[in-house]
């Protein structure tokens, strides 16, 4: 089991471009079939937002890393998107994309796919522009702190999204529960939480960095959400096919959870 100090040390060597290469270029970024992991992740989010039930002023994305794909369906339903990450190198990568700077990662295949599955015939450039307009803040965060942003979010977020972060920064399941409770402090009562994460993963690579992950089963996710005070609305799982087991991690599958913070405090 890794210690918080080992985790922090490991993240000093995290290479955002290697991480993007490992997870967001082929073979994992294969849009040719719904059987593949990226279309599955994007469909979970598109279907959840399609109902229109989840909307409001602010959505906070916890541990964004260097990625924005997770925000593509959310951005139609919130005036402001707040991205966050622990590492400056990831916040800088997000900023490059947000400002449309040369050298930023090309998310257009993801944006085109989301526009296709949302089925409104929206030009992908419109969605790209809307996300850039609404992605107003890119903040430092540490989910091990009871106040992950260092100060309360005022007003609290109407919704929270987090993709592949909490299990990758928690040394064990108890720490995962604590991190969930901490990020729950950023969410208003009644607010919705959407989580994507890894099942059965014990490590992943990001260039020179080899980071430990607490291996989770679906039941651990269910129990952690309950222990952190969330009411579970939906939990789906995806099994990683052999073709996508590329050695960049040992992930067995992916979970998608939709939960809600109760109205009564």
Ligand X SMILES: Nc1ncnc2c1ncn2[C@@H]1O[C@@H](CSCCNC[C@@H]2Cc3ccc([N+](=O)[O-])cc3CN2)[C@@H](O)[C@H]1O
Binding-site residue set for S-adenosyl-L-methionine: 19, 24, 63-64, 69, 85, 90, 142-143
Choice between 9 and 126, CB closer to ligand X: 9
Q: Which of 141, 160, 175, 195 binds ligand X (CB under 6 A)?
A: 141
Considering only the C-alpha atoms of the chain, give the largest distance between any 2 of them, rounded to a whole number of Å: 48
SS (H, E, C) 181-237: HHHHCCEEEEEEEEEEEEECCCEEEECCEEEECCCCCHHHHHHHHHHCCCEEEEEEE
Rg, C-alpha atoms of the chain: 17
Per rule CB under 6 A, is residue 142 in the interface with ligand X?
A: yes
DSSP 26: T
Per CB under 6 A, the segment of 68-76, 86-94, 110-118, 126-134 that binds ligand X is 86-94
Helix (H) or strand (E) holding 137: strand 135-140
Window 22 to 81, contacts with ligand X (CB under 6 A) = 23, 28, 37-38, 63, 65
Per rule CB under 6 A, is residue 201 in the interface with ligand X?
A: yes
Task: Point out the annotated binding site.
Answer: 19, 24, 63-64, 69, 85, 90, 142-143
d(CA 47, CA 39): 12
Choice between 30 and 47, CB closer to ligand X: 30
Task: Give the helix ranges, DSSP H, for 99-209.
Answer: 108-118, 124-134, 166-169, 173-184
| Residue 126, number of CB atoms within 10 A of its CB | 12
What CA dihedral angle connects 170, 139, 48 and 244, to 10 degrees? -50
- Minimal distance in Å, beta carbon 261 to ligand X? 19
- Minimal distance in Å, beta carbon 212 to ligand X? 10
Per rule CB under 6 A, is residue 21 in the interface with ligand X?
A: no
Per CB under 6 A, the segment of 44-52, 120-128, 163-171, 221-229 that binds ligand X is 163-171
Per rule CB under 6 A, is residue 198 in the interface with ligand X?
A: yes
Q: Which of 143, 177, 216, 224 binds ligand X (CB under 6 A)?
A: 143
């Amino acid at each position: 089991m890794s210690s918080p100090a080992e985790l922090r040390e490991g993240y000093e060597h995290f290479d955002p471009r290697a991480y993007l290469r490992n997870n967001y270029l082929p073979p994992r970024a294969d849009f040719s079939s719904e059987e593949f992991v990226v279309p599955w992740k994007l469909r979970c989010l598109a279907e959840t937002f399609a109902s229109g039930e989840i909307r409001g002023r602010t959505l906070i994305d916890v541990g964004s890393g260097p990625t924005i794909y997770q925000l593509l369906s959310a951005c139609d339903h919130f005036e402001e998107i707040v991205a966050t990450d622990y590492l400056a190198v990831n916040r800088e990568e997000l900023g490059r994309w947000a400002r449309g700077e040369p050298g930023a990662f090309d998310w257009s295949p993801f944006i085109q796919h989301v526009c296709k599955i949302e089925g409104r015939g929206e030009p992908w450039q419109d969605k790209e522009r809307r996300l850039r307009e609404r992605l107003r803040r890119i903040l430092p965060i540490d989910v091990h702190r009871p106040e992950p942003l260092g100060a309360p979010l005022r007003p609290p977020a109407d919704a929270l999204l987090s993709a592949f972060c909490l299990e990758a920064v928690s040394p064990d399941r108890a720490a995962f529960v604590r991190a969930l409770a901490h990020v729950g402090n950023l969410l208003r009562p009644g607010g919705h939480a959407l989580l994507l994460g890894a099942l059965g993963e014990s490590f992943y690579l990001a260039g020179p960095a080899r980071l430990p992950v607490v291996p989770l089963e679906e039941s651990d996710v269910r129990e952690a959400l309950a222990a952190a005070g969330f009411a579970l609305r939906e939990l789906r799982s995806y099994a990683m096919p052999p073709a996508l087991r590329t050695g960049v991690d040992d992930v067995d599958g992916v979970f998608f959870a939709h939960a809600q913070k109760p109205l009564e405090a």
